[in-house]
Amino acid sequence: MSQCDLHDPAHSEAEHSCYQKRQTYLYSQTGVAKSKTATAMASESEKSSHSEDPRVAGNRKSPLTENDVDIIDALGDNDVRYYLVIIVGATVFISASFMLVPFYIIISSIVAFAIAGVTCIVGRHVSLSRERARQKGPVWASCTGSTAPGIEDLPAVYYTYILGSGGHTGEMSEFIKRSYEGHENLHRRYIITSGDTHSPNVVAKLETLIRNAACGQPTGTWDVVRVARARNVHQPLWTAWYTSLLSALSIVNALVKEPRSRPRTRFGANFRYPHVIMTNGPGTGFIVCLVAYALKLLFVIPANRAKMVYMETWAHIRTLSLTGKLFYYSDIADMFIVQHKPLAERVNKPCIQLFEPPAYARPGAS
């Protein structure tokens, strides 16, 4: 049930109370100082009842652990062989063309194809940029309203969250708790990198909270997909090209493969590509979004899918992080938001304060 439903007289007072207590429960688990909205909701809930809603308590089960998280490798052995055949075949074809066709014909053909390809990609980029600029105003206006848009009437809602291996993951978890809206047509995909042992534990705790706060209502489905790292620590640079290629291919698979729980035979193309990609600062987030944008340029992903939302990390108050600068200057994100007003004024981007800022980050502070 969305926040919009709270204003619909058709819904009972019990459903209203259930939704309110579910949101209060999620807010209470954030582990940070509550916002004014969360505090008001908690206060009102305490006044109405001093006991936990029986639907919340009855739905509570044993907590999920890291062992309960089924991590899917985005690039399996079969995928590696598949891409290897394509690469080898393309290499053999190009080599044979150089040997069998006169040199000047090859050069002229390459130049012609290059010009046509660049023209097509530039045209696609201009089209996507104009569409993105046209939608930014209405989208931001809808997000700043008093109610959140409902998802219950949509055939599918597919979110992809990109997790880092430390503070970025914790911050993303807090964001999901504060913005979560469950429904049976919702799928949540968490992308992690190989070697990240912290994020699966965070996901398990987060999904446990979501399940316990559901009041018996459907929460949708979720999965965790692991992509390859572009370069490991102390890895020689001369081998980085190979691991970077595997990383790019694994990201492609993570973006274009539908969830196992949402097979195409049953759901069609509704969950073929993510609707929204959310990241808040890890370097992997920019690489994933860059690959997603490249797939949109190549017409692999439709223009109305893989909408990219970048939220600058809460730790940066007056300057952008490196990932933030990459998103800022490349301008590939459909929405770029920051969490502190001083930074919002400096970079001219919308500000959403999910958490209470420290004193030195408030307007007027020196």
Q: What does the alpha-carbon distance between residue 5 and residue 95 come to, in Å, rounded to a whole number?
A: 62
Question: Contact at 8 Å (CB) between 207 and 56?
Answer: no
Question: Taking phi first (over 0 means left), then psi (-120 to 50 degrees means alpha), and beta for anything else, what does residue 87 get?
Answer: alpha
Size of the chain, expressed as the number of residues it contains: 366
In which element (H, E) is residue 355 found? none
State the DSSP string of 253-312. HHHHSPPTTS-HHHHTTTTSS-SEEEE-S-HHHHHHHHHHHHHHHTTSS-TTS-EEEEE-
303 within domain boundaries: yes
26 within domain boundaries: yes
Question: Contact at 8 Å (CB) between 161 and 278?
Answer: yes
Token reading at 93: 């074809």
Count Cβ atoms below 10 Å from residue 340 Cβ, excluding itself: 22
Q: What is the pLDDT of residue 352?
A: 81
92 within domain boundaries: no
Of the candidates 56, 128, 90, 93, the residue with the CA atom closest to the CA atom of residue 292: 128
44 within domain boundaries: yes
317 within domain boundaries: no
Name the domain count of the chain: 1
The residue segments making up the domain with residue 254 are: 3-74+148-311
Q: What does the alpha-carbon distance between residue 276 and residue 292 come to, in Å, rounded to a whole number?
A: 11
Model pTM score: 0.76
Q: What is the pLDDT of residue 311?
A: 92
123 within domain boundaries: no
Tens of pLDDT along the chain (366 residues)? 333 332 333 444 554 455 455 555 554 555 544 444 434 433 443 443 344 445 445 555 677 776 778 788 888 777 878 888 888 888 888 777 777 767 667 777 778 888 888 888 888 888 888 888 777 666 655 555 544 556 777 788 999 999 987 788 888 888 888 877 778 889 999 999 988 888 999 999 999 988 888 777 888 899 999 998 877 767 777 777 788 888 899 999 999 989 988 888 888 888 999 999 999 988 889 999 999 999 999 999 998 899 999 999 888 888 898 899 999 999 999 999 998 888 888 999 888 877 665 555 555 555
322 within domain boundaries: no
234 within domain boundaries: yes
